[in-house]
Chains A and B, each alone.
Chain A
Amino acid sequence: MKDGIEQRVEGLWAAVMAGDEYAAIDSARVAVESGIPIETMLLDVVGAVQARVGQEWADNRVTVAQEHTATAVNERVLAFLAHHSATRNNRAAPNKGRLSVACVEGEWHTFPARLLAEVLRLRGWEVDYLGAHVPTQHLIVHLHRADPDTVALSDSIATRLPAAHGAITACQAAGTPVLVGGAAFGPDGRYARLLGADAWAPDARAAADLLSDGPLPRRPAASMTDEPPHPVDHEYSELTDRRGGLVRRVMDALHRQAGEPGPHGGELPRYTPEDVAYIVDYLRTSVYVDDPELFTSFVEWMTRMLRARGVPAGAMDCALTAMDDCLSGLPHARDTLARARQ
């Protein structure tokens, strides 16, 4: 069976990377007809292929267009499976309760959330799938209207954790418990606990298992009037306000250092303002969740990425030095930065 699955993954992978919808859907159809359960198809074939697409993208081995095309084809396969007669026939009676699945504001990767929505439908949930980038206010309006038993929030990007925090607490204030998932919450779900989510699951299958006994318990109303579990660090707000100025000053410092006049001179690949903004965003998120480790591991990853792009070694340290000069009055942020430079 395991070999069978790996073979299906390879087959679908080839079709998806070729952008061939016919071949991709044919391969899914054949797999379902050979008796592979729909849930296995969704999670271990379609989901596995999508994880691989994401990895290729992260490792810079595919272009934007290739990644989008592959994802679009795989989404078609997902939709094909969702509408397949085997799915309808194997779906448990919808008696578990009602659940809303949404991506946190700023999260545009819908695939994990869609997989979860389909798996939960298979397992007998009535599911409202709200899609990518759901502003918290839209989510709350939806909660008041649909009154789901639980909200499942997806976030794969660490820098969206503050937005996730806002969404989690707002849903809870509206009396709805929140299950969170996605890489942003850390491999052990530590940020899910920190931000007060009612539950965390590492993947769609674990999330569905966790909900197998029914919705998460609603919190007693009394807990709403407690002290917030994770108050926002004022340095985070400060860094958010100063973000643009910080990026500009770091860019200027980098240019001075390189002895070059402006952003468009010279031929060496170098930092873009986007890169610097990215560093600032990770720094402020790290301050937000009060975990220097988040920033340190980001710096390691970014250094590797820049090296792959041909940015001279040591450039990262120059950027961090320049940034440090701009962080007067923000001891928490400076400390986080200093740890990453060790």
Chain B
Amino acid sequence: MAWEDTPYPMLIVDASGRIERANRATRTLFGGVAGDESLTRAAPAWLAQAHRMLSARLAAGAAGPGCEVARGPVGEKVYEAHPVYTDGGRVTWWLVDVTVQQRAFEELQAERDASASMVEAATELLSSLNLDRCLQAAARLAVRHLAAAALVVIPLGSRRYEIAYCGEANGRAVRESLTIDPRTLPGLVEALQGYPPVPPHWVEPELAPGWLIREGAGEIGSMVVIALPGYGLPAGALVLLRRPDTAGFSRREEMFARLFAIRAGTAISIARLYAEQSAVTETLMADLLPPVIPHLDGAEVAASYRAAGDSARVGGDFYDVHPAAGSGREALVVLGDVSGKGPEAAVLTGKIRNTLRALLPLADDHQRVLEQLNDVLIAGDSLRYVTLVLAAVERRGAGLGLRLTSAGHPPPMIVRNDGRVDVARTHGTLIGILEHVTSVTEPVLLEPGETCLLYSDGVIEAKGGPLGDEMFGDDRLQEELRRCAGMTATSVAERVQMLASQWAGENEHDDIAIVAITAPRDTQMSPDEAPGTGGPA
């Protein structure tokens, strides 16, 4: 009959699972089928199973066409079995070779999984600029995809090495600093050099040095050292410990390992550069950051500082509080504003603060201090200038005696207990432009509870408000200060900072520096008695 010679294997099976007929292609495929043989004996288990299920559903009247296609291996190949029902519970099965489709599908799936894993790994590696975090992520990810245990090794210099170790899938990585000799692990020295690139170096597990094998690591079948190159710099090395049943890399693992090493090396280099850069910046910036306010006898002094821009921490505004100046009776508070902003301005504030510190012995005479500073700035090669205000502070009875001198700077405001706000009548030339500078100093007396506010123009020039384009302005500052009568220096400084920042809202503001000097009331503790209230602990 014609179907005997069809190229597709075909067989008719009755409801009890007995093969009634099978064509030649079927016999060849199954290696011979005897007459009346049961499907279970002659055919692969998956086909017999599919037939049993289909028969049961036919008996129950529940089967519909098209939905019972089965699939499974026959020898090296993969077949799909399509049933056709005939009367009496008999089923004709047609078998189609789908090996090629199946392999293609599997490869596509594996490819997708691999690229998803790589995306996930890259995202995790690059999510933090923190070096520790990055090393730990690299060790963890290596264990998730490539090994039973993994170590990431980066050199710290003079035989110190930072090592992140992860020993279990989905486990945490631990990090430690060790002094090791990299020559104890074959291939490590070359891998740590990074360039020229070296291929993964397989090492016999018995050669593993003591620092490599951790408690609970289990049986190790193979070990491989992989370089982690990053941006042309050697970033470190990855050591993978693998189980005996997975001794070598599969082709796919090798591909993954190569890509992973590049991604991890890149991430580690970035994190490391970032850490080094921030350490340098931190050190250089330490002297330019707003200083901690020292204790002054009989006065409460508080400051608030915000640099322009969201990311800057230093700017062109500055302040300093010197507990003893001139002949030693007075303390000196300085607040100033260098033209420009950002790091360049900040560097000049550092120079000016140092110069002023050197001029402290002259501080009984503000005009002389300003003249000297002017000479220094004019002699320098910078075209920048500075405005500043000097406040000499001295205890006088229960209150404070101040001498205020402005050099081209907004004059200080004085918050009186009755709610008046006075503007200090001091004025003078800005510093660093003209050969000769002049200034007028005003003496001011603060009763207990009263506050003198020094501020930079960032406060009054803050642009924004409800209409979006108004300046905060002196008038508004005065009006707000009237409501601050009786408040402590800390509260006044914080409030003015808050008002100016809120006024600017989402607009950019200039640097803002504020210093408040208050004559304390007798209900207020001196900083000696009370613990600090301040900032980051």
Q: Please list the residues of chain A having a beta carbon within 8 angstroms of any beta carbon in chain B.
A: 18-23, 25, 63-65, 68-69, 71-72, 75-76, 78-80, 82-83, 106, 108, 117, 127-133, 135-138, 141, 143-147, 173-176, 220-222, 224-225, 240, 243-245, 247-248, 272-274, 276-277
In the bound complex, how far is the Cα of B537 from the Cα of A127, in angstroms? 8
**B residues at A contact (CB < 8 Å):** 116, 119-121, 123-124, 127-130, 132-133, 274, 278, 310-311, 313, 465-469, 483-488, 490-491, 494-495, 498, 501-502, 506, 521, 523-525, 530-533, 535-537
Q: Is the CB of A129 within 8 A of B533?
A: no
Q: Is the CB of B533 within 8 A of A21?
A: no
Contact flag A222-B466 (CB < 8 Å), given A19-B523, A21-B525, A147-B133: no
Q: Are A173 and B530 in contact (CB under 8 A)?
A: no
B487 vs chain A, min Cβ distance (A): 5
Instruction: Report the tally of A-B residue pairs with Cβ distances under 8 A.
Output: 139
The residue on A at minimum CB distance from B480 is A64
Q: Which of B120, B128, B484, B531 contacts A65 (CB 8 A)?
A: B484
Check B523 against A80 for contact (C-beta < 8 Å): no
Is the beta-carbon distance between B536 and A247 smaller than 8 angstroms? Answer: no
The answer for the CA separation of A2 and B278 in the assembled complex, in Å, is 51
Task: Tell me whether A25 and B525 are in contact in the complex, defined as CB-CB below 8 angstroms, given that A65-B487, A135-B310, A138-B310 are known contacts.
Answer: yes
B530 touches A175 (CB 8 A): no
Whether A225 contacts B119 by the Cβ 8 Å rule is yes
Q: Are B531 and A83 in contact (CB under 8 A)?
A: yes
Contact B537 A129 (CB under 8 A): yes
Task: Name which residue of chain A comes closest to B525, CB basis.
Answer: A21
Contact, CB under 8 Å: A273 / B466: yes
Per CB-CB distance, the 4 closest pairs between chain A and chain B, nearest first, are A244-B468, A277-B466, A221-B124, A273-B466
Q: Give the distance to chain A from B483, nearest Cβ to Cβ, in Å.
A: 5
SS of A interface (majority): helix
Minimum CB–CB distance from B310 to chain A (whole Å) comes to 4
Using known A-B contacts A72-B491, A147-B132, A147-B133, determine if residue A274 contacts B466 with beta carbons closer than 8 Å: yes
27 contacts across the A-B interface (CB closer than 8 A): A19-B486, A19-B524, A20-B523, A22-B523, A64-B483, A68-B491, A68-B495, A72-B490, A76-B525, A79-B530, A79-B533, A80-B530, A127-B537, A132-B494, A133-B501, A138-B313, A143-B128, A144-B130, A147-B130, A174-B127, A174-B129, A222-B120, A224-B123, A247-B468, A274-B466, A276-B466, A277-B467
What is the distance, in angstroms, from A18's C-beta to the closest C-beta of chain B? 7
CA distance A135 to B468 in the complex (A): 20
- Chain A residues, Cβ within 8 Å of B486: 19, 65, 69
- Asked if residues A69 and B491 are in contact (CB atoms below 8 Å), the reply is yes
Contacting residue for B465 out of A128, A143, A273, CB 8 A = A273
Please pick, from A69, A79, A133, A136, the residue contacting B531 in the complex, using a CB distance under 8 A.
Answer: A79
Q: Which listed residue (B313, B467, B495, B502) contacts A247, Cβ 8 A?
A: B467
Instruction: Assess whether B525 is in contact with A71, with CB atoms less than 8 Å apart.
Output: no
> Which residues of chain A have C-beta atoms less than 8 A from B120's C-beta?
220-222
- A247, B466: Cβ atoms under 8 Å? yes
Given contacts A132-B498, A174-B127, A243-B468, 7 further A-B contacts (CB under 8 A): A19-B523, A22-B523, A25-B525, A129-B537, A145-B130, A221-B127, A277-B467
Say how far A185's CB is from chain B's closest CB, in angstroms: 21
Is B127 touching A224 in the complex (CB atoms < 8 A)?
yes
Residues of chain B within 8 A (CB-CB) of A65 are 483-487
Q: Tell whether A69 pairs with B487 under 8 Å between CB atoms, given A147-B128, A225-B119.
A: yes
Q: Is the CB of B506 within 8 A of A240?
A: yes
Contacts of A248 in B (CB 8 A): 467
Q: From the candidates B130, B483, B533, name the one contacting A76 in the complex (CB within 8 A).
A: B533
Which A residue's beta carbon lies closest to that of B129? A144
What is the CA–CA distance of A113 and B533 in the complex, to the nearest angstrom?
Answer: 14
Give which listed residue, B311, B487, B535, contacts A131 with CB less than 8 A: B535
CB distance from B294 to the nearest CB of A (A): 18
Residues of A within 8 A of B133 (CB): 147, 175
- Give the chain B neighbours of A272 by CB distance below 8 A: 466
- Contacts known (A133-B501, A247-B468, A274-B466); A69 close to B488, Cβ less than 8 A: yes
Q: How far is the CA of A146 from the CA of B275 in the complex (A)?
A: 11
> How far is A218 from B344 in the complex, measured between Cα atoms in Å?
39
In the complex, what residues of A have CB within 8 A of residue B310's CB? 135-138
CA distance A277 to B465 in the complex (A): 9
Minimum Cβ distance to chain B for residue A14 (Å): 13
Cβ B128 vs Cβ A144 within 8 A:
yes
Interface centre among B127, B274, B494 (most CB of A within 10 A): B127
**Partner among B468, B484, B506, B523 whose Cβ is within 8 Å of the Cβ of A64:** B484
Which chain A residue has the least Cβ–Cβ distance from B124?
Answer: A221
Contact A25 B530 (CB under 8 A): yes
Contact of A18 with B523 in the complex, beta carbons under 8 Å: yes
Q: How far is the CB of A272 from chain B (nearest CB, A)?
A: 8
Residues in A neighbouring B524, C-beta threshold 8 A: 19, 21
Which B residues are in CB contact (< 8 Å) with A277? 465-467
Which residues of chain B have C-beta atoms less than 8 A from A23's C-beta? 523
Q: Write out the residue numbers on chain A whose beta carbons fall within 8 Å of the beta carbon of B468.
A: 243-245, 247
**A249–B121 alpha-carbon span in the complex (Å):** 53
A128 in complex: contacting residue of B313, B530, B536, CB < 8 Å: B536
Nearest CB of chain A from residue B509's CB, rounded to whole Å: 12
Residue of B128, B467, B483 with most partner-chain A CB within 10 A: B467
Q: How far is the CB of A52 from chain B (nearest CB, A)?
A: 18
Chain B residues with CB below 8 A from A225, complex form = 119, 123
